[in-house]
Amino acid sequence: MSCYPWHMIGKTLVRLTWAVVGGYVGFHLLWGDWTSTSRAMKTQRMLHELVLAAAKYRGAYGHNPVPPALAAPGSLRHLETAGTPMALLVGMNVEGLNPARTIFFDPAPKGRTRQRLKNSGSASAIRFEDVWGHPYILILSPEDDRPVANPDLKNASAAIRENAPATVGVVAAYSSGPDGVEGTEDDLVSWRPTPPGSRPPSLALLLDDALQILAAALLFAALCNLGLLLWQLGTWIRRRAAHRR
């Protein structure tokens, strides 16, 4: 009884391996960005949700989510997802512009993406970034609903410029992508369904959801195995102490 039971070593090694490997894989699937395609999928999802949120705010209050100082009639606005515009979309009442405190945008409703809202408690410090650490850009047309000119018309990629329609609606959004430079080929935008070469959104999101379920299952199994290991170790220690008495 002075040594660890040899017949348990095999099971212990299997449980330890499962706990380490399952925990590592589950953690990275759930909170990491497993592939560049996964990062693109998450960013594309956020873009569409940001556009929907800005449109809902506009429908609720009859104007864009901007303070009066920025609401010059007839001007288009390219705004970062930071400060007052972002604060209004997430439910803060800044300068009386969201009196109902309606939450138009929830950046991570399932807590399963690295894209997070950075908020120190004040509207001026609020900031929402993509998975590469850059803020998104919202493009808002004037309140007269004039369509927004397509930024792709000035893209550095000739293939994107040639296939770009003239306008992209009254509300649009984009991410500058991995390189952090606007107007390049790796930009992710709300008016294009997916980046060049990526999978269709419906299939991509379905696979993403399946990975999240798998990740949760792996983490649960890893925690169970870790618990069993600790219980097994505790039992052995208690028996050894009792034997010494």
What is the pLDDT, as a whole number, of residue 7?
Answer: 55
What is the pLDDT, as a whole number, of residue 224?
Answer: 77
Long-range pairs for 203-212 at CB < 8 Å and ≥24 separation? 204/37, 204/41, 204/44, 205/41, 205/45, 208/38, 208/41, 208/42, 211/29, 211/34, 211/38, 212/29, 212/30, 212/110, 212/112
Prediction pTM value:
0.64
Percent of the chain at pLDDT > 90 equals 19
Q: Is residue 142 part of a domain?
A: yes
What is the pLDDT, as a whole number, of residue 113?
Answer: 46
The pLDDT of 71-97, averaged and rounded, is: 81
Query: Do 162 and 239 belong to one domain?
Result: no
Q: Is residue 145 part of a domain?
A: yes
Q: Are the C-beta atoms of residues 86 and 126 closer than 8 Å to each other?
A: yes
Q: Is residue 101 part of a domain?
A: yes
**19: nearest Cα among 226, 234, 230:** 226
- The 10s digit of each residue's pLDDT in 111-128 is 444 456 776 667 778 888
> Where in the sequence is the domain holding 5, given as residue range(s)?
1-31+200-245
**Domain termination site, one of 198, 216, 235:** 198
Segment of 79-93, 132-146, 184-198 carrying the highest mean pLDDT: 79-93
* pLDDT-based confidence at residue 142 (cuts at 50, 70, 90): confident
Query: Do 208 and 241 belong to one domain?
Result: yes
Query: Do 130 and 15 belong to one domain?
Result: no
Query: Do 205 and 185 belong to one domain?
Result: no
What is the pLDDT, as a whole number, of residue 42?
Answer: 80
Query: Do 3 and 111 belong to one domain?
Result: no
> DSSP 3-state assignment of 106?
coil
Query: Do 143 and 181 belong to one domain?
Result: yes
Q: Is residue 40 part of a domain?
A: no
- Tell me the helices (H) and strands (E) count for the chain, helix number first: 5, 6
- The 10s digit of each residue's pLDDT in 145-154 is 788 889 999 9
Query: Do 138 and 151 belong to one domain?
Result: yes
Burial classification of residue 225, based on how many CB atoms lie within 10 Å of its CB (0-12 exposed, 13-18 middle, 19 or more buried): buried
Query: Do 18 and 50 belong to one domain?
Result: no
- The 10s digit of each residue's pLDDT in 1-41 is 445 555 555 666 666 676 666 666 655 555 554 555 667 87
Query: Do 63 and 166 belong to one domain?
Result: yes
What is the pLDDT, as a whole number, of residue 102?
Answer: 95
- The 10s digit of each residue's pLDDT in 186-232 is 899 999 865 444 444 455 555 656 666 776 677 777 777 777 777 87
Query: Do 170 and 213 belong to one domain?
Result: no
Q: Is residue 172 part of a domain?
A: yes
Q: Is residue 110 part of a domain?
A: yes
| Bridge partners, 123 (sequence order) | none
Query: Do 163 and 221 belong to one domain?
Result: no
CA distance 141 to 55: 11
Concatenating the DSSP letter of every residue in 197-223 gives TPPPHHHHHHHHHHHHHHHHHHHHHHH
* pLDDT-based confidence at residue 60 (cuts at 50, 70, 90): very high
Query: Do 72 and 188 belong to one domain?
Result: yes
**Domain termination site, one of 198, 217, 235:** 198
Q: Is residue 39 part of a domain?
A: no
Domain count for the chain: 2
Q: Is residue 194 part of a domain?
A: yes
